[in-house]
Each structure stands twice: as C-alpha cells, then as structure tokens.
A and B are shown apart, each in its own frame.
Chain A
Amino acid sequence: SVLLYQKPNRDICQSGTSLKIQCVADSQVVSMFWYQQFQEQSLMLMATANEGSEATYESGFTKDKFPISRPNLTFSTLTVNNARPGDSSIYFCSSKTGGTNTGQLYFGEGSKLTVL
C-alpha cells in the first residue's frame, strides 16, 4: 500500500485568491491523480501527474485554473487559481503502489476547500 498525506486538510479562502494543496507519498509512485468531490457526490478525476512532465487534464479541468506540479516521485501540488465559490469541494490526491500503474488506488485524506 501507499500512504498519502495532504496539507491543508481544510481551508477557507476569499474569491479571487489562489490556494495550494500539497500531497506527499510515503514511497515513490509513478503517477499521482487528483480528484474533486462536491458535497456527497461522486469523485471526478481532474488530472494525472507524472514526474517531470506536464499533467494530463480531464475534460472540464484546465492547467490555467488548476496548475499541478510533480517535481519528484513522492510529491505533488495542486493549485486552485482565482478561486470561486463553485470551487468549494474536497480535493483528493491518489496513487497506486510501487513502480507501476496497476493494482488498487489509494487516497489521501482530502483537502476541503471553502471559497467565500
């Protein structure tokens, strides 16, 4: 398994500001995935981040709005730019174990963002 630690666990910010969420894995992983979950709804994959390359974004999510960094095999950040109340949700990072992208997915504890 892999343990993923997210920071902050929750935050409140004003509209128009930016917020950065960090994710640290306890071991090296190939890909890190960022998911968004609105209140009690399904989780949606936002993007896939591999070390040293630009993240791949799913439909509805863009690099300008949600820039993601992946500087090494244990770390990733997700930034929410120009935050709006509609961005209020829980953001999860996730990854699979070891050096492959097979097997089960593990999730961090989530970062709950509230935009006023």
Chain B
Amino acid sequence: GDQVEQSPSALSLHEGTGSALRCNFTTTMRAVQWFRKNSRGSLINLFYLASGTKENGRLKSAFDSKERYSTLHIRDAQLEDSGTYFCAAEANNAGAKLTFGGGTRLTVRP
C-alpha cells in the first residue's frame, strides 16, 4: 500500500535553534498535511499543501509531489514547540484517505 516514511523519529533541539523534518512518499500524493500533537493529545493542524511552500511564523513547509517528499522546517525553536509532529498525505486515487507518517517526537531543551 501507500507508504509515508517520516524522519527523524526523534529530535532534540536547544531553544533558538532549528531543524527540518521530512516525509518521503512511495507514490504520487496530491496533498500533504502536517500536524502537531499537543500535550493533551489533540492534533493541531499546521499546514495543508497541494503544492509549493507555506510559511506560518517559525514554521515553513514544502511539498513536491513529483519528487515525492514534503518537509517541515522549524526555526528559533521554543519550549512550547515540543511534541510529536506527523505528516499525512493523500494519494491521487485514495479519495479522502490520509496515510500518516510514523511521527517525529521533538524535544526542545532550554
């Protein structure tokens, strides 16, 4: 079936630094979403992309359907950014079904 490979599985950052998360897809996806799971367990919508890039504050995401990947960049990380981040993608022939990556557990340290 459709696969979404997310990396890294865990990431530790010092406050003020940045890094990137990546999802590779085994098939052509028509859209990707990024979520953050907060301490209460809720899934917070970060981005929805059908192509190109989007930026929101200290977060920036890119999606390249042809090259089969998406990235989420975090800059100037803050303690409250800690949590688990998921990408999820829609395949062209999958209706509204999302296939999730395995998640990245981000820990931001002082």
Interface residues, chain A, with chain B CB atoms under 8 Å away: 1, 31, 33, 40-45, 48, 58, 90, 92, 96, 101-107, 109-110, 112
Contacts and interface: CB of A to CB of B under 8 A. Distances in A.
Contacts of A109: 40-42
Contacts of A48: 95-97
Contacts of A112: 41
Contact of A110 (B42, B86, B99): B42
B42 A107 contact: yes
Contacts of B48: 103-104
Interface string B67-110: 00000000000000000101010000001111111110100000
B26 interface: no
Contact of B84 (A40, A90, A101, A106): A40
Interface of B: 31, 33, 35, 40-43, 45, 48, 84, 86, 88, 95-103, 105
B100 A42 contact: yes
A44 B97 contact: no
B103 A42 contact: yes
Contacts of A33: 96-97
Given A33-B97, A42-B101, A101-B95, 9 more contacts: A33-B96, A40-B84, A41-B103, A42-B86, A42-B100, A105-B98, A109-B42, A110-B42, A110-B43
A93 B81 CA distance: 24
A103 B45 CA distance: 12
